[in-house]
Each structure stands twice: as structure tokens, then as C-alpha cells.
Amino acid sequence: MKQPISKLMTRAPHTIGREQTMATAHDLMRKHHIRHLPVLDGGRLVGVVSLGDLRLAATFGDVDPAKVTVEEAMSAEPYTVGPDTPVADVAAEMAERRYGCAVIVEDRAVVGVFTTIDALRALVPKR
């Protein structure tokens, strides 16, 4: 049997509302030592914002991270899979498309996130 992504994903990930500021997203990432945040609107997934997205947006001269919303920096079409999707399928798609994460969705709710860091942790023997 192929191992489902639910065995390796980060459960109940931190999320952020689309109307929150880039500065708020960055603070949340720094506080929790993470690089990806699913972006929600009324509990519904509408995107994902990465630390790289925030850094890129901040390079534009007219961007004030304290005023610009996450919605303006996020990727509006995140890679999503169900919790029973095989890890190998998710990893292959992430590698091929150069995605930094997959958002795990069940019944329209975000239940997890699988990042490249989660994949690397899976390769390390338990200590």
C-alpha cells in the first residue's frame, strides 16, 4: 500500500486571512519558524503565501508590507491534494512543478500542509 500524505503532513497548519498584511504574515512565519501559509477567505482556501513571495513583493519600491495585503503577494492557485493521496505522487508533482508545498484539503477545509522540509524530515531516520 502506498503511504498517504496524511502520515507526513503538518497537521492543522497556521493560516492567514487574505486581508491581513504582508507584515502580519511575515511575523507569523518568523514566530512559528515556517515558510508557507495557506490563505483563507471565510474559512475557504484562496491561495498560499510563501516567505519567498513576501520577499519578492517587498522588492517593489511602492510596497509597504504594513499596508499591502497577503492577497496581493499570494499564489492564487495553490497545489492541493486530499489526505489519502500517496506521498510519492505528491512529491513527484512538487518536484516536477517546483512547488514548495502542497495544501492538504478535506471536505473543503485545510487539514494540513506538506512542505519540502516535511519531505526531508521523512528521509531522516527517527532518533
CA–CA separation, 85 and 79 (whole Å): 12
Confidence of residue 63 (pLDDT cuts 50, 70, 90): confident
Q: Give the pLDDT confidence score for residue 123 in this predicted structure.
A: 86
Question: Could you tell me which of 34, 49, 42, 11 has the C-alpha nearest to residue 108?
Answer: 42
Q: Which three cell numbers stand for residue 9?
A: 503532513
One-letter amino acid identity for 105?
V
- pLDDT category, 60, cuts 50, 70, 90? confident
Q: Scan for cell 498584511, then name that residue.
A: 21
Fold of 5-123: CBS-domain (3.10.580)
Question: What pLDDT score was predicted for residue 124?
Answer: 86
- Which of 68, 77, 75 is closest to 20 using CA atoms? 68
pLDDT at 1 over 70: no
Mean pLDDT of the chain: 93
- Identify whether the C-beta of residue 25 lies closer than 8 Å to the C-beta of residue 54: yes
Lowest mean pLDDT among 7-21, 53-67, 91-105: 53-67
In this prediction, residue 58 carries a pLDDT of 85
Measure the CA–CA gap between 9 and 26, rounded to whole angstroms.
22
pLDDT digits (tens, 9 = 90+) for 5-51: 999 999 999 999 999 999 999 999 999 999 999 999 999 999 999 99
Q: Looking at residue 62, what is its pLDDT?
A: 85
DSSP bridge pairs for 104 = 81, 112
- DSSP assignment of 60-83: STT--TTTSBGGGTSBSS--EE-T
| Residue given cell 510596497 in the structure block | 63
Task: Characterize the bridge pairing of strands 101-106 and 80-81.
Answer: parallel
